[in-house]
Structure 1
Amino acid sequence: MQNNAIVEALYKALAQGHTEAVAKLLASDLEWWFHGPPQSQHMMRVLTGEASHTDFRFEPRSITEVGDCVIVEGWEGAKAYWVHVWTLKEGLITHFREYFNTWLTVRDLKPQGWENFTVWQSMPRDLFHRSLPSILLAI
């Protein structure tokens, strides 16, 4: 639950524009991956200072901890659906994956017999009838 609390603190600091608090939660060599339209890299713009914290509001609708990862989902009407996957190591965010307008399925591939299983799946309530690309994240 500690990882979950760190990511919740990140979103709270982002919403309030506390850039110093955000910086303390991120590794200096944060690894980044983005999937979606290039103009939708909102988190990158906010974290790098290219955009203000008020340019795009990240309001998490669900936060789920899966091992060292914390998966955060949010949507703002029919035009903006996002999933963030934060990986933490020793209380610091070291890796970030951002999916914008993309269905995401997270599967655990650790050997448990020969099976792997889905541990998380996108649930954008107001976008079920919309066609979005789908991607599988293996952890």
Structure 2
Amino acid sequence: MANSKAILDLEDSDSSNRKLVLTLYEALSSRDTDAVVKIVAPDLEWWFHGPPTDQYLMRLLTGEASSDSFRFVPQSIVSFGPIVLVEGCDNSRSTSWIHAWTVTDGIITQVREYFNTSLTVTRIADSGKSPTSEITAASDAHRFPCVWESSVSNRVGKSVPGLVLAI
């Protein structure tokens, strides 16, 4: 029974983390800075992998974006506990992107942003947990995916390098 409750708690947490991240994309799209400030930690840790010209998210979050700025439209979203992975592409710019958001206590504290690359993510067990319980939980791919791979759009028209991210 305790395992069932833990699974339900994790599913609820994953769902609320995904909803929070989707709310952020809606706020960014509508340029609702008040909502963004409530969702994102003031000391957001931001990592970027890609060409400097593609730092659209940084410009949106700092208010430097122009009115014709890049629009992030999520095409898929999945979560690994506090990590929410979102991917999309901008066909007009032949650009694919992936964001790995970290949600802590109901606010976003970190984002890792990747442009024009494919990404494989794997979840690594906490050292304090029993390996058996992690393997058992991770074996149910629908509830606890332990590996996620981006689906690079054919429409971006480029070959993209692959990266592996361990969380």
Deviation at 1:127, TM superposition (A): 4.9
Contact kept, 8 Å, 1:35 with 1:98, in 2: the verdict is: yes
In terms of fraction of residues, the more strand-rich structure is: 1
Contact 2:96–2:156, Cα closer than 8 Å, also in 1: no
Name the CA shift for 1:7/1:28 in 2 (closer, same or farther; >3 Å).
same
Tell me which structure has the larger Cα radius of gyration: 2
Q: TM-score, normalised by structure 1?
A: 0.90
Q: 1:125 Cα deviation (Å)?
A: 3.0
Seq. identity, % = 47
Aligned counterpart, 1:100: 115
How far 1:138 sits from its partner (Å)? 0.4
> What amino acid sits opposite 1:123 in the alignment?
S
Identify the match of residue 51 of structure 2 among 19, 22, 37: 37
SS at match of 1:132: coil
Partner of 1:22: 36
Asked if 1 retains the 8 angstrom alpha-carbon contact of 2:95 and 2:156, the reply is: no
Structure 1 Cα separation of the partners of residues 53 and 157 of structure 2: 23
Query: Alignment partner of 1:74: what SS?
Result: strand
Structure 2 SS opposite 1:64: strand
Structure with the largest fraction of helix: 2
Q: CA deviation at 1:128?
A: 8.3
1:15·1:53 contact (CA, 8 Å) conserved in 2?
Answer: no
1:11 is matched with 25
Deviations 1:79-114 (Å, cap 9, x if unpaired)?
11000010000000001000000111101121635x
Q: Between Structure 1 and Structure 2, how many residues are aligned?
A: 139
Name stretches of at least 5 consecutive residues in structure 2 with no aligned partner.
1-14, 139-144
Question: SS of 2:73's equivalent?
Answer: coil
